[in-house]
């Protein structure tokens, strides 16, 4: 909840973005759809949350009060800090998705879960679920497109219905969602046979082609992350504003 801490965080994430080589324009572009919500939330918090928060180590001060509305130094801080947090979160997640493929993330999750497999967590199987889902997204996407085109060819309504008819909208959605599900199940049946034919009998004892190995950079990243976290915690207690 501290200004200083968030300012530092903001700078660090910005630095990371620059380091990653992902275009800044792209990252800011990702911020745009979130802006209205950030603003609405900020207004709500500014007007109605005056009593909910008191800044650390500071006396509560009221700037404005009228009926339900009261603005305090607490709500101002809440607005600024939470907006900053959102921006940091958006930066970090778009950084992740812009630098790492979903396939790599899946491998990463598998590696993370591996130590738990001795407690019965099926790490290998779960990673396989992730892989299969990524594999099928483009397939089902094409399928969906054809289903919608086939329906349009046979006179499906192109015009948008009003929101009030949402039950019939739901039915309309169901009309192409249902064949999509049926197709997914059907492909699934094929895939089950194919996996069995390729000797799949469960995740235990499989070897693995892809190995994520810790390299110097990874240790470095972990180290920096750890030091930084401790630093931030320290900041929280020494400079609580």
Partner 1 sequence: MSEAPFIQINDLHHVYLRDTPLEITALKGVDMEIHMGESVGIIGRTGSGKSTVVQHFNGLIRPREPGKVLVDGEDMSDPKIDIKRVRQRVGLVFQSPQQQLFEKLVGDDIAYGPKRLGMVQADRRERVKWAMEMVGLDFERFKDRFTFSLSGGEMRKTALAGVLALRPEVLILDESTTGVDPRGRKELMARLLALHKEHGLTLVFVSPNMEEVAELVERVYVMDDGRVVMSGTTREVFSQPEELFQHGLNVPQVTQVAHDLRARGIGVERVPVTVDEGVEEIWKILSSCETSPLVSTYQATR
Partner 2 sequence: MSDPIVRMEGVHFHYNPDSDFPIHALQGIDLDVQAGDYLVIVGHNGSGKSTLAKNINLLLQPTAGDVWVKGLNTRRRENLLAIRSSVGMVFQVPDNQIVATIVEEDVAFGPENIGVPRDELRLRVDWALEVVDMLEHRHRPPHRLSAGQKQRVAIAGAIAIKPDILILDEATSLLDPKGREEVLRAVRALNEEGMTVIAITHFMHEATEGNRVVVMEEGKIVLEASPRAVFDHVEELRALQLDVPQPKELAYRLNGRDPTFPTDVVMVEELVDEVERRVKGGRRQ
Partner 3 sequence: MDESVVVTREPRLDEPRLSVRSIVVAGVLSAITILMGWTRLGFVPVPTAAGNATIMHVPAIIGGVMEGWIVGGIISTIFGLFSFIQATVPLFKDPLIAILPRIFIGITAYFSYAGVKRINEYAALVIAAAVGTLTNTILVLTMATLRGYMAPGVAVTVGITHGLPEVVVAAIITVAVVVAWKGVETGRGEAKM
Q: How far is CA 178 from CA 60, 109, 137, 148, 173, in A?
A: 56, 31, 16, 12, 8
Nearer to partner 1, 30 or 179 (CB): 179
In the Cβ-directed half-sphere of 82, how many Cα atoms lie within 13 Å? 19
For residue 62, state whether it binds partner 3 (rule: CB under 8 A).
Answer: no
Question: Which of partner 3, partner 1, partner 2, none interacts with 211 (beta carbon under 5 to 8 A by kind)?
Answer: partner 2
String of DSSP letters for 114-127: GGGGGGT--HHHHH
Stretch that binds partner 3, among 58-66, 192-200, 213-221, 227-235 (CB under 8 A): 192-200
Q: Is 2 exposed, middle or buried (0-12, 13-18, 19+ CB in 10 A)?
A: buried
Answer yes or no whether residue 86 interacts with partner 3 by CB under 8 A: yes
Closest CB to partner 2 among residues 149, 186: 186
Nearer to partner 3 by Cβ, of 155 and 215: the residue is 155
Q: Does 196 bind partner 2 (CB under 8 A)?
A: yes
Total interface residues for partner 2 by CB under 8 A: 28
Which parts of 133-162 interact with partner 1 (CB under 8 A)? Answer: 143, 146-147, 149-158
- What is the distance between the alpha carbons of residues 161 and 101, in angstroms, rounded to a whole number? 38
């Amino acid at each position: 909840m501290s200004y200083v801490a968030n300012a530092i965080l903001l700078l660090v994430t910005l630095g990371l973005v620059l380091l990653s080589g992902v275009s800044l324009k792209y990252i800011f572009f990702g911020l745009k759809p979130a802006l209205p919500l950030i603003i609405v939330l900020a207004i709500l918090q500014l007007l109605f949350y005056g009593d909910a928060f008191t800044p650390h180590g500071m006396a509560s001060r009221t700037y404005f009060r009228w009926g339900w509305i009261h603005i305090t130094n607490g709500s101002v801080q809440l607005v600024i800090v939470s907006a900053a947090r959102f921006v940091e979160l958006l930066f970090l997640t778009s950084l992740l998705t812009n630098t790492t493929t979903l396939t790599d993330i899946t491998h990463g999750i598998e590696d993370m879960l591996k130590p738990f497999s001795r407690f019965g967590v099926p790490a290998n199987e779960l990673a396989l679920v992730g892989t299969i889902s990524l594999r099928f997204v483009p397939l089902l996407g094409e399928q969906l497109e054809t289903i919608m085109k086939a329906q349009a060819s046979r006179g499906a309504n192109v015009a948008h219905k009003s929101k009030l008819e949402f039950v019939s909208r739901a039915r309309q959605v169901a009309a192409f969602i249902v064949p999509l599900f049926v197709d997914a199940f059907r492909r699934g049946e094929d895939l089950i046979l194919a996996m069995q034919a390729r000797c799949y009998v469960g995740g235990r004892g499989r070897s693995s082609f892809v190995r994520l190995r810790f390299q110097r950079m990874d240790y470095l990243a972990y180290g920096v992350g750890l030091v930084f976290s401790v630093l931030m915690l320290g900041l929280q207690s020494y400079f609580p504003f």
